[in-house]
Amino acid sequence: MLIFAIDDEPKMLQNLHSAIAEAAPQARIRDFLLGSEALNAVQQEGLKPDVVFSDIRMPGVNGLELALRLKALHPDVGFVFVTGYDDYALEAFHCHANGYLLKPVEPEQIRQELDALSNLRLTPQPEKLSVQCFGYFEVFWKDKPLHFQRQQTKELLAYLISREGTACTNEQISTALWEDESALSVTNSRIRTLLSDLRSTLKSIGMEDVIIRRRGWIAVDRNRIDCDYYRMEDGEIAALNSFHGLFMQQYSWAELTAGELHFRFLNKAERQADY
């Protein structure tokens, strides 16, 4: 096992190294005073750490940015923040950190984090449907576009995903997809046809449980979908940087959401850049 220990304070780094060495005597440990040095070791030396224990407040590449960049390169890396401050817990969650420790750390704390990571990796993780919402809406399965028999079947899935797992009634779906059609009996029949087609398409790849159907409403299981929109909502910086104001742009009903996202995220980023 290769473990990175990162802290810009030499004494804290020494303490962290000693705690790791006692908790995992068989592990290889690489020490870094800067997050940028650890990132270079991965990008230039080709190292792939199994676990990273890192400070948060560091000059240059801080711990939060490092976590996002390393997980983008190696999604299965375990990342545990070790900090002298307890006010970064929410940011750590948004970075998909596996643990959060306060300094000074003890070997038993390190051992518990390593045991938790080991148990997590032994638990099979469900596969997810890969979805692109920024720009044009697209759906992928194992890196290949998913084929839909009907374009409106794809649009139905897009609308359900845009609702982020909230329950959608037939009337809400009808209003979005067929705003000029007033006969609900007609649109109900269309929805049944499209839903049957959608479930058949997803069943062909073993992902039919992405759709949740109950009496009177339909939704998607948000946990079975990996998409840029959800990751941005969860605070992922890389996803935010990939958003340029366009959201499911082939669908007119998505314009309202695009405007809301522009106001919430792009305007905020522009205001922060002015300071």
Mean pLDDT to the nearest integer, 157-168: 95
Identify the sign of the CA torsion 119, 114, 102, 77. negative
**Dist CA 126 CA 46 (whole Å):** 28
- Enumerate the CATH 1.10.10.10 domain ranges in the chain, comma separated: 129-273
The burial class, CB within 10 Å (0-12 / 13-18 / 19+), for 31 is: middle
For the CA atoms of 30, 31, 36, 41, the dihedral, rounded to the nearest 10 degrees, stands at -20
69 and 60 Cβ atoms separated by less than 8 Å: no
**Dist CA 59 CA 178 (whole Å):** 53
Element (H, E) at 231: helix 228-233
What are φ and ψ of residue 56, in 5° steps? -100, -55
Predicted pLDDT of residue 145? 94
Question: Global pTM?
Answer: 0.60
pLDDT of residue 207 exceeding 70, the answer is yes
Mean pLDDT to the nearest integer, 92-117: 85
The secondary structure of 5-72 as a DSSP string is EE-SSHHHHHHHHHHHHHH-TTSEEEEESSHHHHHHHHHTS----SEEEE-SS-SSS-HHHHHHHHHH
- 162-180: burial string, b at 16+ Cβ within 10 Å, e else: bbebeebebeebbebbbee
Query: CATH number of the domain at 129-273, please?
Result: 1.10.10.10
**Which amino acid, one-letter code, is at 259?**
G
**Dist CA 254 CA 156 (whole Å):** 12
Mean pLDDT to the nearest integer, 83-104: 72
- The band of 215, judged by pLDDT with boundaries at 50, 70 and 90, is confident
**Which amino acid, one-letter code, is at 160?**
L
Mean pLDDT to the nearest integer, 255-264: 90
Give 171-184 pLDDT, tens digit per residue. Answer: 999 999 998 776 77
pLDDT of residue 132 exceeding 90, the answer is yes
SS3 state of residue 165: coil
Of the given ranges (50-59, 127-136, 148-157, 234-243), which has the lowest mean pLDDT? 234-243
Residue closest to 3 by CA, chosen among 40, 46, 54: 54
pLDDT of residue 122 exceeding 90, the answer is no
Query: CATH number of the domain at 2-122, please?
Result: 3.40.50.2300
- The band of 274, judged by pLDDT with boundaries at 50, 70 and 90, is very low
Residue 240 region by backbone torsions, left for phi larger than 0, else alpha for psi between -120 and 50, else beta: alpha
Question: What percentage of the chain reaches a pLDDT higher than 90?
Answer: 63
- Enumerate the CATH 3.40.50.2300 domain ranges in the chain, comma separated: 2-122
Give 233-259 pLDDT, tens digit per residue. Answer: 877 777 788 898 999 999 999 999 999
